[in-house]
Amino acid sequence: MTIQIAPMSSGFTLVELVMVIILIGVLSALGIGLFTRSSAFSPLLATQQLASATLLAQQAALAGKLESSVLVDDAGDISFKAQYKESESDSDFITLQNFSLDRSDFTVSVNPSGRIYFSNLGALTDRVNRAITVSGDNTSFIFCVSSLGAVYQLPPLGNCDG
């Protein structure tokens, strides 16, 4: 009695290879679509960076740094700068964080406008709530900096005054 051994089969069938190629094609088409539509991504990124710069300037104020502030600079590209001064005699600010994005992707508005200064208790020095809006093609993100220094995202149809 002889034992027959089945031949070793290794590799993939043509059907399996075609299915993998189709699956890779579909996934890459979806991935490219997500990355080419940066209009929704840029305003979200800008909102998060601006909130981060605001909190960083507030932390510098709490650490005793003079004239801790956030500046939204829209000359050329839009940039957000968390800054402070070493001493009262300094004319230049020291930058803690500087982030900039191409202004063609979005717009930023601060209401009321101007540099946002923090006191040594972390509150806004002028005691005026700030609404900061970052808008892209079809998206808009709003966050508030309260007069006490709290940074929070604005609910839909809400305002920063209450």
Q: Give CA angle at 126 (122, 127), nearest 5°.
A: 70
Domain regions of the chain by residue span = 41-153
Does residue 60 carry a pLDDT above 80? yes
Average pLDDT rounded to a whole number, residues 10-29: 86
At 97 the pLDDT is 81
pLDDT digits (tens, 9 = 90+) for 110-121: 888 888 899 999
For 123-153, how does the pLDDT look when each residue is reduced to its tens digit (9 = 90+)?
A: 999 998 888 888 877 778 888 888 888 888 8
What SS3 state is found at 67? strand
Among the listed residues 99, 100, 154, 108, the one whose alpha carbon sits nearest the alpha carbon of residue 135: 108
Dihedral over Cα of 23, 25, 28, 32: its sign: negative
Going by pLDDT thresholds of 50, 70 and 90, the confidence category of residue 158 is low
Q: What is the DSSP letter of 73?
A: E
Arch. (CATH architecture) of 41-153: 3-Layer(bab) Sandwich (3.55)
Sign of the Cα pseudo-torsion (5, 10, 12, 13, in order):
negative
3-state SS of 77-144? CEEEEEEEECCCCCCCCEEEEEEEECCCCCEEEEECCCCEEECCCCCECCCCCEEEEEECCCCEEEEE
d(CA 98, CA 75): 14
Average pLDDT score, the chain: 81
**pTM over the 0.75 mark:** no
